[in-house]
Amino acid sequence: MEMELRDYTEEDFADIYALDQRCFPPGIAYSKRMLRYFLRMPQGRCILARDGDARASNGEARARDGALAGFIITEEGPPVGHILTLDVAEEYRRRGVGTQLLARSEEGLASRGVTEIVIETSVESAVGVAFWHGHGFLSVGVLPRYYLGKIDAYEMRKKIARA
């Protein structure tokens, strides 16, 4: 499934916030304040995937583009980049949206001098762990009580080639 991928604009905030709240449980999903912080960081980037054929969640056609299928937020301090979150709407999962977002992010990170990407993912998320492993990330350690002060996370890393 081919999506329209583009950079985040302030007009996208409500959609991004709503999707993050649907993708993650309370306490793990970002607050509005934290999400705004990440989106405004000078070293941060956000790429969205929108489905040009779909309608907005309220049933009205969007004037500018289709329904939000997913987004990825990264930060960088070359040579290291960090994926803060990758959110894909449930109805778009297992359709290549996450893979497209990750590929576009990796291209951008590499073009800006990043040679290694870091991600944290819950040890309880078999699907998440499998996704990251399937895209070349290796588990390099466990971060005790990373989520909500009680759920461990894997620290995962991937080397990428400079553009």
- Rounded mean pLDDT, 131-157: 96
Does position 63 have pLDDT exceeding 80, yes or no? no
- pLDDT, residue 65, reads 62
- pLDDT, residue 1, reads 62
pTM of this structure: 0.90
Distinct helix (H) and strand (E) counts, the chain = 4, 7
The range of the structural domain enclosing residue 95 comes to 4-159
* Residues 32, 39 contacting (CB under 8 angstroms): no
Question: In the chain, how many domains are there?
Answer: 1
